[in-house]
Chains A and B, each alone.
Chain A
Amino acid sequence: MDYSQFLMMPQEIGLLVVFLLVFLYDTFMPTKTLKGLPLFATVVFGIFTIFSFLPVPDGMVFGEMFESNKATWAMKNILNIGMFIVLLQSIKWANSDFVSIRRGEFYELIILTLFGMYLMISGRHFLLFVIGLETASLPLATLVAFEKKYYESHEAAAKYVLTAVFSSAIMLLGLSFVYGLTGTLYFTDIATMIVGDKSLLLIVALAFLISGVGYKLSLVPFHLWTADVYQGAPTMVTSYLSVISKGSAAFAFFVILVQVFGAAYAPVWEWMLYAIIVITITVGNLFAIRQRNLKRFLAFSSISQAGYIMLGVISANAVGMASMMYYILVYIFSNLAAFGVIAVIERKTGKVTTDDYNGLFKTNPWLAFVMMLAMFSLGGIPPFAGFFSKFFIFLGAAKTGSVAIYVLVLIALINTIISLYYYLLVVKAMFIRQDDCVIPALKSHWTERAGLWICTLGIILIGLVSCIYTSLSDITSSLTSMFSMI
């Protein structure tokens, strides 16, 4: 075996080193020093995040199963940034009373799921993709059940693991159809085998594949687990589920649809996705209006946000891909800001409903301000980053130019107004309601504040500083071979 192949995957190796360091610290350090484990893991991961910005070589390794290029590199970096914020915000929580004895597992498992996502992003063979998907899904069930004291946490984990397994099974069935028809699981080989051949079985396989990934992305109608799991899981795990897990799945989905089914089946999956996007955005929005629990509220909001991310997928062009990655980056900052605030307040007071947030501005102006920025960014209000990401993702979708896509964009735009309504409800609760706030003035831990500061700067700067979108766009427009099929 040629070990130089491993040089093509420096980010994966680096992540494994981080994992091993955390594992060794957890296993061999004296019990007294374990309190420092969360900070240690975060710092090590932070260093890794910085180093993983070093450029990686382009190419395929391991019998062309694993691809490394600029786009996968950028996507992994985007995930790393989000992961770093999640780790930073969870330090204080991981040292709290009921969690602290298992904090080692938390960091080890969460890093492993990220490793699975790396494989999903880089895999160019369905076997590697499925392994990545499972590595990313199953440890998450453990993390969802992490607060074992709470009944909801158990229920959420059971729901999560059952739907995960079921959807994986369906997806594997679809993949076995594909294998049966083509005799290969390589992306590029399948793409060349199925050109010009429109068999019903392959369309069914495609539908199965979409439902499998749709579950990860919590697209309607595969979203039923989302609200309960988001509510029951520890807030840090929820925020991880809602941004990192979703972002990686969206990217992998894009690659599969364009690279494997792009040539002959683009019209087929475009219409499937068209319907899915319309109902995802609409159902997510309509259900979010009624939610009083902020975690459930953000669960439905994240369902509709996934619909917007899918607008980048349906575009299937370089602008759409850049816009999708940019959207995921912005979404990471906005959603983590919202979850960061919720986590602080929940950890200190245990309160998570919008009614508890009435008059929050009077007691905690800084937290209320960050929450407002997050809501404005999610709602797509300029000059915050969410406006730019929404505009670009609509632009990417409309680039395909058909009237049907314009109608889709119009539906999505009308839905942004509905979403603005419920985002403004939170702002209203915090700023306009004059009731006495049940949440006293809080002093958050410095790590939580640091996480919120990063999110705030991200929300304000990512849009105004154009170089991030520009470099993403340069990267995707260099992937000529990928889009040559469409």
Chain B
Amino acid sequence: MEIFSNMLIYFVIIPVLTLAGLALTKNKGIDAIRAVAVTGATALVALAIYLVIFFLHARATGETSDMILQTSVTWYEPLNIKLALGVDGVSVVMILLSAFIVFAGVFASWKMDPLPKQFFLWFFLLSTGVFGFFISIDLFTMFMFYEVALIPMYLLIGVWGSGNKNYSAMKLTLMLMGGSAFLMLGLIGIYFHSAHEGQQLTMNILEIAKNDAIPHNWQYYLFPLTFVGFGVLGAMFPFHTWSPDGHASAPTAVSMLHAGVLMKLGGYGCFRIAIFLMPFAAQQLGWIFLTLTGISIVYGAFSACVQTDLKYINAYSSVSHCGMVLFAILMFNKTAMTGAVLQMLSHGLMTALFFALIGMIYGRTHTRDIREMGGLMHIMPYLGVGYVIAGFASLGLPGLSGFVAEMTIFVGSFEHQDMFRRVLTIAATTSIVITAVYILRVVGKLLYGAVQDEHHRTLTDADATERISTATLIIAVAIIGCFPNFFIDIIRDSFTPVVKALTSVM
């Protein structure tokens, strides 16, 4: 089987093997369950790092095709559906990010209770979907993996969540699946217009882009369907309402995975499918979505200012930051799009760090309301410093990832000469200030104020597994902040085809 000689398929096989391994463990055998989960997650990280090295090596040795490691195996022959794999720079960094978050997520759910086995089963099913999505270049398999990644959220939140979990889980699932219903119609439409008269219809993204056969009048319908479909997952205003509730109710590791990886599927899909395949409609209708994402950015930031629940604050901050990803993608130039991917990386790591820390704080204080907490810096200095670092990354302090990402995005956005984009960019930059307001408000209240509850003085600082998971993420945030060129070099050239397609229809 030629497909097994392609390393990409192992990004799906490893989680599936982990699932099988977990299925064989006993319900009570917590050590065996942890061992299997850690092995699977470590293997994924190792493979992801190897993939990055492989990618850099391939590019260095003059491999210039848009996607490397391409393999395609026929799956449903009558409909020309294939299991087509391939990666470019964007997918490579997304895979790396996902592997890291999965790794950190396993450690963050070390003491998961009850039903640890079932938790990790759903957790790795979700990872299977995420990795499968990033390695596929066939619309059908992409969509299938996309939905595989969505549905475990329902049980992960419903069973292991807290607070108003039934409502949140159902709302999240239905809104995301509603998005994917629009998406499915969009994909079916793309499929039937994927080839010129006489050619065979195809689901392969690269072939569709090469054929460039989707009529312009159809693009007007299909572009909004696909963009909104993915935009729901990218928390685009006004389809973002699942995100705060979902995050607030989800257990820590799930929040990490969700904000860190799952929301990235939305941005990635918007760029890879909606814009890449339908550049004409993207140029024509882009302004609508640009306005919506602009609203997301500012509105998310303002909403975060008035929240008192730590998780809600970060959920709204996610809406704002993910809005920035879509905003940058819609700017249609290389600099801004590179910034979008950097922002995905930065937001993924930073939010995962936030949610990990919030989970640890909540595990100790049993409250997430900032009005009931204060002065935690003296009590748990490690967690406090971690929170401050995450906050600085979020508000864009130089040296951390957020600065690089936002800087690149705004520089790229401002390259446009027209008034509309410039005004929107200026409006969006205000979010940096508003972010500073809500981050500093939380830091001041939570970490530096007077101790609100005397009982909190007896609490302990982070233990070993918690230190591992937060330290990994902090180091990653700092690496992106200090050495952004390493990532920019990987990402930047991947946007050549899409930018070329976009300029050709101007």
Contacts and interface: CB of A to CB of B under 8 A. Distances in A.
A473 B78 contact: yes
A193 interface: no
B154 A424 contact: yes
Contacts of B147: 381-382, 387
A395 B148 contact: no
A120 B499 CA distance: 57
B158 A417 contact: no
B78 A469 contact: yes
B173 interface: yes
Interface stretch (A220-228, A257-265, A340-348, A408-416): A408-416
Contacts of A421: 170, 174
Given A376-B151, A469-B76, A406 B174 contact: no
Given A395-B188, A410-B185, A417 B78 contact: no
B486 interface: no
Interface string A421-446: 10010011001100000000000000
Given A414-B178, A424-B170, A431-B155, A383 B75 contact: no
B185 A381 contact: no
What is the predominant secondary structure among interface residues of chain B facing chain A?
helix
A398 B79 contact: no
Interface string B142-157: 0011011001001100
B484 interface: no
Nearest to B175: A417
Contact of B76 (A376, A394, A414, A470): A470
A432 B155 contact: yes
B184 A394 contact: yes
B273 to A, nearest CB: 16
B173 A420 contact: yes
Given A398-B188, A398-B189, A432-B166, A466 B75 contact: yes
Given A381-B151, A401-B192, A421-B174, A432 B158 contact: yes
Contacts of B169: 432
Contact of B78 (A319, A387, A427): A319
Contacts of A416: 177, 181
A391 interface: yes
Contacts of B185: 394, 406, 409-410, 413
Given A424-B170, A470-B78, A473-B78, A417 B151 contact: no
B77 A432 contact: no
B414 interface: no
Interface string B467-494: 0000000000000000000000000000
Interface in B168-225: 169-170, 173-174, 177-178, 181-182, 184-185, 188-189, 191-192, 221
Nearest to B74: A466
A293 interface: no
Contacts, number: 83
A394 B202 CA distance: 16
A399 interface: yes
A466 B177 CA distance: 25
A477 interface: yes
A428 B145 CA distance: 23
Interface residues of A, number: 34
B188 A466 contact: no
Given A413-B182, A431-B158, A466-B77, A406 B173 contact: no
Interface string A285-322: 00000000000000000000000000000000001001
Contacts of B177: 416-417, 420
A155 interface: no
B262 to A, nearest CB: 16
Contacts of B77: 466, 470
A431 B154 CA distance: 11
A376 B166 CA distance: 18
B107 interface: no
A474 interface: yes
A348 B140 CA distance: 43
A392 interface: yes
A414 B79 contact: no
A427 B75 contact: no
Given A395-B191, A420-B173, A420-B174, A431 B182 contact: no
Contact of A399 (B75, B181, B192): B192
Contacts of A381: 147, 151
Interface residues on B, range: 20 to 34
B48 to A, nearest CB: 23
B436 interface: no
Nearest to B129: A382
Contact of A417 (B159, B174, B221): B174
What is the predominant secondary structure among interface residues of chain A facing chain B?
helix
A282 B350 CA distance: 43
Interface string A373-400: 0001000011100010001101100110
Contacts of A477: 78
A396 B168 CA distance: 35
Contacts of B155: 427, 431-432
Given A383-B144, A398-B192, A420-B177, A413 B170 contact: no
Contact of A428 (B151, B166, B192): B166
B166 A382 contact: no
Nearest to B179: A417
A417 B144 contact: no
A383 B159 contact: no
Nearest to B154: A424
Contacts of B173: 420, 424
Contacts of B170: 421, 424, 428
Given A417-B178, A417-B181, A427-B154, A382 B192 contact: no
Nearest to A469: B76
Contacts of A427: 154-155
A398 to B, nearest CB: 5
Contacts of B81: 466
A383 B148 contact: yes
B174 to A, nearest CB: 6
A392 B79 contact: yes
Q: Name which of A387, A391, A392, A431 has the most chain B CB atoms within 10 A of its CB.
A: A391
Nearest to A472: B78
A477 B165 CA distance: 49
Contacts of A382: 144-145, 147-148
B208 to A, nearest CB: 16
Contacts of B165: 432
B163 to A, nearest CB: 14
Nearest to A394: B188
A219 B191 CA distance: 30
A391 B169 CA distance: 25
B78 A474 contact: yes
A319 B144 CA distance: 20
Contacts of B166: 428, 432
Contacts of A406: 185, 189, 221
B192 A409 contact: no
Contacts of A473: 78-79
A428 B174 CA distance: 14
Interface string A451-486: 000000000000000100110011001000000000
Nearest to A414: B181
Interface string B70-101: 00000111110100000000000000000000
| 7 pairs of A and B residues whose beta carbons are closest in the complex | A473-B78, A413-B181, A432-B158, A382-B144, A398-B188, A466-B76, A417-B178
Given A416-B181, A421-B174, 15 more contacts: A382-B144, A382-B147, A387-B144, A391-B140, A395-B188, A406-B221, A409-B185, A409-B188, A410-B185, A413-B181, A417-B181, A432-B159, A432-B169, A466-B77, A469-B76
28 contacts: A319-B78, A381-B147, A382-B144, A382-B147, A383-B144, A383-B148, A395-B191, A398-B188, A398-B189, A409-B185, A409-B188, A410-B185, A413-B182, A413-B184, A413-B185, A414-B181, A420-B173, A420-B177, A421-B174, A424-B154, A427-B155, A466-B75, A466-B76, A469-B76, A470-B77, A473-B78, A473-B79, A474-B78
